[in-house]
Amino acid sequence: MTFTFSKLSRALFTVATLSSCAAFTATAAQTIPTITPKVLVVTMFGSEAQPWLEHQQLTQNYEIPGLSREYPALHCNETGLCMVTTAMGYANASATLTALEFAPQVDLTNSYIIIAGIGGVDPDQGTLGSAHWARYAIDGGLTHRIDARQMPKDWTTGTFALGSNKPGEKPKWSAGTEVFHLNDALVDKAYALSKHVALLDSDAADKDRQQFTDSAKAQSKPFVSICDTISNDTFWVGSKIAKAMDNYAATLTDGKANVCTTQMEDNASLTALQRGADADKLDFNRILVLRTASDFDQEAPGQTPIEALAANGSGYEPAEVNAYRVANAVASNIIIRWDEWQNGTPQ
């Protein structure tokens, strides 16, 4: 015997099915607990995330719609620590953090957010494995650029501010995301809590840093400091670009920024987080940016930029481990002393 639905039966079946699905969805939404991290750590790729996964028992895994396909979950533990991985570059960083902060099951309104990743370092200000907390994050990509082979002969760089006519001039218009100034009191507190952390080093990193014979800091053992970071989707290397980026940062901040690290996400991440703060999803005064040095951003004496790029590698393990050690010194203090931190940065 063959059974068929009449049009009325089909309509009733469809309505009943949709009603059941809606009821199930509502029930499921009600049963998902709200995730309220005391500290959210933001990493950019797998090897930055690995130390957190290995040492912090982040066994509570929540798949959040809109996160990276490669890193689809928010990882948390019972103490109030959570960690998310954005994937590399501006697009991934901004998309992941936007999805996370607007996820209905995530509440970041009281969370401290620590962006903790690796990057390049100026050999006059740091060394392989060193760790640097930023007060300023500068976008090095929102610029005009003329190829150096075609720029005026009296220019030292083809990079200059938007709306300006030459390097060193102030921008006449902007995107509004070129400069982020983080909470000075929080940065100072993070440095105070982490400046004596034991940092990983290696023989290979020490050998590579000794090539910088003109810089005592480059040749030193890893250390922790406060200095600023410049973002760009382009992984650039070379002393001439580095100088241009330094000058550009000085122009945008009236000389206040002291750029020492380079990376590929932070201004995008901070833009997304600022949007979240504007929507009352989080407190922008509770954000920290830490970058640890996996490589030098320019060539050593007697080296070419392409040789410097090819030589990058010995600093990666120390940088990844030290990003965890330094950031965790702050994260653990916040969690253990939450009664002192919950209303804002303690004195």
Q: What is the pLDDT of residues 11-28, one digit of tens each?
A: 433 333 333 333 333 333
pLDDT for 347 equals 87
Q: What average pLDDT does the structure give for the chain?
A: 92
pLDDT in tens, 229-259: 999 999 999 999 999 999 999 999 999 999 9
Specify the pLDDT at position 3.
35
Handedness of CA 108, 113, 117, 120 (dihedral sign): positive
The mean pLDDT value for 150-164 works out to 96
Rounded to the nearest 10°, the torsion over CA 72, 78, 82, 83 is -60
- Work out the average pLDDT over 74-89: 98
pLDDT in tens, 294-328: 999 999 999 999 999 998 889 999 999 999 999 99
Alpha helices in the chain, H assignment, sequence order: 7-31, 46-55, 90-101, 184-194, 203-209, 216-219, 239-253, 266-278, 305-311, 316-336, 338-341
Query: How high is the pLDDT of residue 6?
Result: 39
**What tokens appear for 19 in the block?**
């009603």
Confidence band, pLDDT 50/70/90 cuts, at residue 31: low
pLDDT of residue 27: 35
Sign of CA pseudo-dihedral 209, 212, 213, 216: negative
Asked if the model's pLDDT at residue 30 lies above 50, the reply is: no
Tokens of 271: 């833009």
**Phi and psi at residue 107, to the nearest 5°:** -120, 110
**Domains along the chain with CATH numbers:** 35-135+178-233+259-296+312-341 (3.40.50.1580)
Give residue 199's pLDDT band: very low, low, confident or very high (50, 70, 90): very high
Instruction: State percent of the chain over pLDDT 70.
Output: 91
pLDDT score, position 32: 67
